[in-house]
Structure 1
């Protein structure tokens, strides 16, 4: 079965965006080096990463066959031009946005909950992993026991306020295994296996 991997950049004090939804500070590492890396998809971007970050990014993204995210991330990203660089994208939402779905787009909308969204993304991933974006979607996956790995790009910045990644988890304490650690420029890449809740009756 396809693994489900949460992927987020986060400040050292736990924020994935500032109070105005800005993410520039936690993504500074995407322009911190000399290794040029161009994403695919309909709206490709070019990053300039340190050698260590480039190796981490290539290894991680090569594992992915689909992506799962929330409505907020979808809106901020402008729908990725209709096709995400990591494969078919599944957007967890209450209602399909106006003007979507679109012809020649691999963006799909799931309105019947996180379990259905994960199942659809796994089926579309072709045996590869599903990458999960967005703080709320990651929290839902954690609480439902559907997350296999937590990948955090820990940026060397303190934001002090904003959108926190791990607020309001219900299935806690959650046990993580020992991380794989890669030190980049201005960022530490951490990959934790998710072992499950230690709460009696918790998931996994």
Structure 2
């Protein structure tokens, strides 16, 4: 089974968006460089979708490019909540990384929505991770942070936590760990990469 990693860009005070789901300027570093991210077998991604759902080319600084490329190349499946799916319209069936998406939702896929896309709507976080690991094989399952990510962590199904920390203070908004109310211990970070406008961190979850 592949590693389950809970990941997101996050402000230094722990928010992944403001109360209105605005992520600016959290994602500025994704579009402020000159080096396109390479994914899907080496294709340069010139028409991906950011959190807002707008078509944009992901171009990061050369300092971040190697880390982001290598991370995205391992992803087989993204797990997201229905709120994010609706917010970005599922990236129009073209996830920024991986070949499959599992959406945690009590509601089915919208009728007629991108039938060609490998998107699977599953009721419950345990079933979502089971489905994601079935699809991913030995590749990484990337879980979007927030309410659903926090629920998956609380259920003991997350192996690592990855944060791209940007020098922004929101003060309030949508928390990286959602409304999780239990204690979870992380190991010392095994990835610490300071780059232009972002600090890449990864922690293993202690069992």
Please give the residue correspondences for 1:20-99 in structure 2 after superposition, counting only pairs within 5 Å.
Answer: 20-37=20-37, 38-39=44-45, 45-84=56-95, 85-99=97-111
Residue 186 (structure 2) aligns with: 176
Compute the displacement of 1:60 (Å): 0.6
RMSD over aligned Cα, in angstroms?
1.9
Q: What 5-or-longer segments of structure 2 have no aligned partner?
A: 38-43, 50-54
Q: Tell me what 1:157 maps to.
A: 168
Alignment of 1:180-191 (within 5 A): 180-191=191-202
CA distance, structure 2, for counterparts of residue 100 and residue 181 of structure 1: 43
> Residue by residue, what CA displacement relative to the aligned partner does 1:144-195 show, whole Å, maximum 9, x if unpaired?
00000101000111111111123432331x1111211111111100011111
Residue pair 2:147, 2:178 contacting (<8 A) in 1 also: no
In structure 1, what is the equivalent of residue 52 of structure 2? Answer: none
Corresponding residue pairs, total: 194
Q: Which SS does the other structure have where 1:91 is aligned? A: strand
Q: 1:31: how far off?
A: 1.9
Shift of 1:97: 4.2
- State which of 104, 121, 126 in structure 2 corresponds to 1:115: 126
Q: TM-score, normalised by structure 1?
A: 0.88
Offset of residue 140 of structure 1: 0.8
For residue 39 of structure 1, report the CA deviation from its aligned partner. 3.2
